[in-house]
Amino acid sequence: MTELLSIILAAGEGTRMRSALPKVLHPVGGLPIIGHVAQAARDAGSSQIALVTGPKHEAIRAAVSAMQPDVVHFEQTEAKGTAHAAAMARDLFAKAQGYVAVVYGDHPRLRGENFRVVLDRLDAGLDVAILGFEPKDPTGYGRFITDGETLLAIREHKDATEEERGIGLCNACILAFRADVFRELIDKVDNNNVQNEYYLGDLVGLANKAGKKVGFGIAPEDDVIGVNDRSQLAHAEALFQEMRRDDFMKAGVTLKDPGSVWFSYDTEIAQDVTIEPNVVFGPGVRIESGAVIHAFSHIEGAHVGPNSSVGPFARLRPGANLAEGAKIGNFVEIKQAEIGKGAKVSHLSYIGDASIGSEVNIGAGVITVNYDGYNKHRTNVGDNAFIGSNSSLVAPLTIGTSALVGSGSVITEDVEADALALGRSRQVNKPGRAKEIFAAAKAKKQNKKGL
């Protein structure tokens, strides 16, 4: 495969988002917009990725480096247009031997195959290939001026004539060049336009004047939508979710009410999993075959083993790891805990920083007391243990195999295997005392009314 340098442009301020968070860091499917673009570039075969950001975009640089550690950063100190921004990556494209693709960083639906549409045109002999699309409303987009399969120019909307504004084929978000052609032309772009900016699209006209072969490819509109405001962000999210739901159902996952289930970019679900309505998957979730996720559950950073059951109204937080056949019931929260094969945490419990063995029964209202105000501590429960309802397990703590904890206990010391542990005060009954208390309370209430 030909060497590919991808230059991602993310120097804009994104003011229409009206947010302290940079536009390209807003998530779609749990992944920042810029993360989708970087992954698409990588999937297209990019051997190098350059990221061009503005002077106050440390957060963008840090986020992309976390996702793509070998990305090379460049800064556009003054906002002078897209061609000026792309030129900031000179240290890389000056040495590039294959292709250079320049892509805008605010297109969360991009995939590697969108890059390949134009890269394949370069493979076929073109010097320049630009990705286009046909939007329902072309207002604001640069128009493709074509002659057959040749792209003659890209005319920005503000510079276009009324006749040119009637063109439906528009500039999308990927411009691909042979590296030598990009080097030859990038510094010839001028700012003789309404905005006084250096437009990347002007490279098309310059390439034609230089006798280069210039063409285009076309992508579906939904693949190349950009995000400039909250409405467009919501639209991108809706398209992403629709795609993921369809992908999962085609792969053998049952969605009882597809429109109410929300996925993340990295959600993994095996076939024959059933998902009931109103379930949300955050990042880092893997669900194995035969599991059932009941309604109104929230799962993030968790693994659900084969034939397990979760919910309804359950929350699995990062580090939750359910073995085969485990059951997590209603209003149960699991965090940083292993739940063994066939274990049951059926209702109203919190299990955090714990290892629960196989076939363990956790009664209603049981909590692991894992935090002392400064540090987290672990609770270990052996196989076949039974923890009675409304008990508190104060970590650090180990409860042995087949041990029994009586209901309502506060357990602060280790319990050996096969032992019965009781951690509660002895019950005392006082005959007639309840009647006296109720009578006194009633008299007090009547006295207040009399006043």
Please check whether residue 403 is in contact with residue 383, taking contact to mean a CB–CB distance below 8 angstroms: no
157 a catalytic residue: no
Nearest to 93 by CA among 203, 216, 256: 203
d(CA 134, CA 218): 8
State the catalytic residue, choosing from 36, 57, 107, 347.
Answer: 347
SS (H, E, C) the chain: CCCEEEEEEECCCCHHHCCCCCHHHCEECCEEHHHHHHHHHHHCCCCEEEEEECCCCHHHHHHHHHHCCCCEEEECCCCCCHHHHHHCCHHHHCCCCCEEEEEECCCCCCCHHHHHHHHHHHHCCCCEEEEEECCCCCCCCCEEEEECCEEEEEECHHHCCHHHHCCCCEEEEEEEEEHHHHHHHHHHCCCCCCCCCCCCCHHHHHHHHCCCCEEEEECCHHHCCCCCCHHHHHHHHHHHHHHHHHHHHHCCCEECCHHHCECCCCCEECCCCEECCCCEECCCCEECCCCEECCCCEECCCEECCCCEECCCCEECCCCEECCCCEEEECCEEEEEEECCCCEEEECCEEEEEEECCCCEECCCCEEECECCCCECCEEECCCCEECCCCEEECCEEECCCCEECCCCEECCCECCCCEECCCCCCCCCCCHHHHHHHHHHHHHHHHHHC
Backbone dihedral angles phi then psi of residue 411, each to the nearest 5 degrees = -100, 120
Contact assessment for residue 106 and residue 27, using Cβ atoms and an 8 Å cutoff: no
Mode of pairing for the β-strands spanning 350-356 and 379-381: parallel
User: Which whole-number Å values give the CA distances from 7 to 104, 110, 164, 203, in the listed order?
Assistant: 8, 14, 29, 15
Report the distance separating Cα 410 and Cα 405, nearest Å.
Answer: 9
**Active-site residues: which are they?**
347
